[in-house]
Amino acid sequence: MVRADPAAPGAWQTDMAGAEVVVNLAGERIVDPPLRWTPERKARLTRSRVEVTRQVVAAIRAASPRPTLLVSGSAIGYYGSRGSEVLEESAAPGSDFLASLAQEWERAALEAQDAVPVARVRTGIVLGVEGGALAPLLKLFRLGLGGPWGDGRQWWSWIHRHDAVALLLFAIDGRLSGPVNLTAPNPVTVAQFAAALGRALDRPAIIPAPTFALRIALGEGADTLLASQRVLPARALELGFRFRFPALEAALADLLR
């Protein structure tokens, strides 16, 4: 194990030599209450992604022998909030903070493309009980305090953690390059997500979290909960990837059993 600050050059970079594939998913949590999106916080979010990626790219370019592939993290925030528009990998980017951050993150990764193929995995909401978006929701819903947030009509593009890992391995084995949406093929609205989680826990899911309350609690960071992104994994499906959990109900049942 190597412990270092990957946003700064150091001895850790020499470990790239001889690695067959580099997977870079580094980045601080976007939503981390009670931290709000101050200018300083935004700078940390950017540095933890963009600067780390630049240092990874520098290490790849200097390695001998070089890795054969870079799988670099990105996020569906790349597309911005787009209502009910279906978003495949060819969709244009958005213009808000998260979209700009994802674009800068991807540009940093693409600095390696003259040396190795670069796959940019645009990750959606990964569902797992140990962390991520689901863990804090479980606490509320188990107490019977859960429900939709915002107006409930915004689209959430989720993926079971098993499929997220499997799709990363699929990208590695297939030596994919270019953008790849890391989401399940059946996104749902927030209202549908809340209802499904309530059913899975046998708890009511009727207490809403209105937009104004989220804005008070999280400030601009509430954008992550209120954004609507109906993202489809078009490339994965086209290339024959088979999701183990394409439907939310089965995914929740597996995670909560």
CA distances in angstroms from 17 to 53, 68, 168, listed in the order given: 16, 11, 21
Count up the domains in the chain and report the number.
1
Q: What is the pLDDT of residue 256?
A: 95
% of the chain surpassing 70 pLDDT: 99
Report the C-alpha gap between 212 and 218 in whole angstroms: 10
Report the C-alpha gap between 169 and 171 in whole angstroms: 5
Q: Which amino acid is at 57?
A: V
Identify the domain containing residue 124 by its residue range. 11-256
Residue 132 has what DSSP assignment?
B
Task: Tell me the whole-structure pTM to 2 decimals.
Answer: 0.94
Range with lowest mean pLDDT among 74-78, 177-181, 209-213, 244-248: 209-213
Q: What is the mean pLDDT of residues 14-32?
A: 89
Residue reference for tokens 């209802």 = 195
Long-range contacts of 41-47 (CB under 8 A, 24+ apart): 42/97, 45/101, 46/101, 46/104, 47/7
Q: Establish if 239 belongs to a structural domain.
A: yes
Q: Is residue 2 predicted with pLDDT exceeding 80?
A: no
Residue 209 has what DSSP assignment?
B
Q: What is the pLDDT of residue 150?
A: 94
Q: Establish if 77 belongs to a structural domain.
A: yes
Query: How far from chain centre, in Å, is Cα 185?
Result: 15
Q: Establish if 182 belongs to a structural domain.
A: yes
Q: Establish if 198 belongs to a structural domain.
A: yes
Residue bearing the bigger pLDDT, 4 or 86:
86
CATH number at residue 225: 3.40.50.720
Q: Establish if 2 belongs to a structural domain.
A: no
Q: Establish if 174 belongs to a structural domain.
A: yes
Residue 237: helix, strand or coil by DSSP? helix
Q: Establish if 53 belongs to a structural domain.
A: yes
* Assigned token pair, 95: 């213009």
Q: Establish if 5 belongs to a structural domain.
A: no
pLDDT single digits (tens) 183-214? 999 999 999 999 999 999 999 999 999 998 88
Q: What is the pLDDT of residue 18?
A: 84
